Amino acid sequence: MKNKMLNALTETGLNQRFAVGNDLVFIPAFKNALTTVFKNKVYTPGEITYCDQFDDALLRYASTWAAKEAVYKAVKQLSPATLAWKKIEITRQKAAGQPNVTLHQYPKQYNISLTLSHDGDYAWAIAFIERENIT
């Protein structure tokens, strides 16, 4: 039975240890999507508070969205389970500080390195993820 499970994992790629995800957001188009309904569906209260403290809140929402997408894409390579947007939380210790990721659904299961960037009309994020233990 154990060999069948390991073979199934190998065939689906779920035994991999590392994954990467990225996302690019075109900010002018994103502005049209950033409605109150979207904010409340996607962002945690802490993320909303963080983004709204800046004069350029749109840029903060776009980069946080890019981060969530990048993390989502990486996690989905390692786990087929459903992952809601609010279960991916992007935090910072200080304004414009290093972004950190909390996966509320997978506490301590992954090590995640995340970087965000923006230039002109674009916000970009890349996430590198390492699975803690593969059995």
pTM: 0.86
Model confidence pLDDT, tens digit, residues 76-109: 999 888 899 999 999 998 888 899 999 998 888 9
The residue among 119 and 5 whose pLDDT is bigger is 119
What is residue 105's predicted lDDT score, i.e. its pLDDT? 86
Q: Give tens-digit pLDDT for 34-91.
A: 999 999 999 999 999 999 999 999 999 999 999 999 999 999 999 888 899 999 999 9
Q: Are 65 and 42 in contact (CB under 8 A)?
A: yes
Contact yes or no for 126/113 (Cβ under 8 A): no
What's the CATH architecture for 17-131? Alpha-Beta Complex (3.90)
